[in-house]
Amino acid sequence: MQILIIEDDQRVAELINRGLTEEGFETTVAFDGLSGLKLILHNDYDLIITDIILPKMDGLDLSREIRSIKPQIPIIMLTALGTTDDKIEGFDAGVDDYMVKPFEIRELLARIRVLLKRYNGITANSSFILKFHDLEMNLNLKIVKRNNIEINLTPKEFKLLEYMMQNSERVLSRNEISEKVWDTHFDTGTNFIDVYINYLRKKIDKDFDKKLIHTKSGMGFILKVEE
């Protein structure tokens, strides 16, 4: 996931940057609104974090510009202005969430995940197509293709791959997969999740040079392009 941080306070920007990169996000930092806007025009980001008081272009005007050119990007506004009127003004400018400084990085991470999940769901439901690298999933027709080659999956394999594609480039624990895909709690005495992951690997990765499904020892599994 690519996240753009727009914050003129270098100390705060470094704090956010470090907290996000430690959680596996890829980040870019801009120190004024105009530089942030230029980055948004020329790059694709999954989420934007912006301060409200910025040099050259404030966060409210920046948010309005983002909404006019790339309405699908979620925006979190960080600011020292915490009154109700300030928040309403931010929401009216198109901001999705609003956090008042000082803040806990853990809470910011939690809000980022909620917004990414919400926007990923909107995108999937509106287009019915999920794409990652050369892998494509049609949610309506229940068809999976890699490099335009159709791959036959069982219903449970399809659901597992769907969840991994909706959460690509993020490590998914066995507990999370169990709860989200199987609607149950993970029994540490069984290895059914590992079995299904292996089923998917044989179908998704076996006949292709670039491997997409990877195991993070002791943590879970991740869908990412092999480097």
Question: How large is the average pLDDT for residues 22-46?
Answer: 92
Q: Are residues 47 and 33 in the same domain?
A: yes
CB 196 within 8 A of CB 151: no
19 and 97 part of one domain: yes
Inform me whether the pLDDT recorded for 124 exceeds 50. no
Domain match, 175 and 110 both: no
Report the CATH number that the domain containing residue 78 is assigned in CATH: 3.40.50.2300
Q: Are residues 53 and 149 part of one domain? A: no
Q: Are residues 119 and 157 in the same domain?
A: no
Whether residues 188 and 140 fall in one domain: yes
Q: How do residues 49-106 score in pLDDT, each as one tens digit?
A: 999 989 999 989 999 898 888 877 889 988 877 666 677 777 778 788 888 888 888 8
Q: Give the end of a domain, one of 58, 92, 123.
A: 123
Verify that 92 and 162 share a domain, yes or no.
no
Question: Is 175 or 117 the better-scoring residue by pLDDT?
Answer: 175
Are 136 and 118 found together in one domain?
no
Same domain, 89 and 154: no
The whole-number average pLDDT for the span 160-177 is 92
Is residue 121's pLDDT more than 80?
Answer: no
Report how many domains make up the chain: 2
My answer on whether 116 and 132 are in the same domain is no
**Residue 185 pLDDT greater than 80, yes or no:** no
Q: φ, ψ for residue 4 (rounded to 5)?
A: -100, 125
Given 123, 153, 188, the domain boundary residue is: 123
Among 77, 95, 123, the domain boundary falls at 123
Considering the domain architecture, whether residues 56 and 112 belong to the same structural domain is answered as: yes
Say if residue 181's pLDDT is above 60: yes
pLDDT for 155 beyond 90: no
Neighbours of 207 (CB within 10 A): 11
Q: Give the highest mean pLDDT range of 84-88, 123-127, 153-157, 212-216.
A: 212-216
Q: What average pLDDT does the segment 197-207 reach?
A: 93
The CATH number of the domain holding residue 201 is: 1.10.10.10
- The mean per-residue pLDDT over the stretch 124-139 comes to 79
Rounded mean pLDDT, 31-41: 93
Does 37 have pLDDT greater than 70? yes
Mean pLDDT for the chain overall: 86
The residue segments making up the domain with residue 21 are 2-123
pTM of the model as a whole:
0.54
Q: Are residues 58 and 106 in the same domain?
A: yes
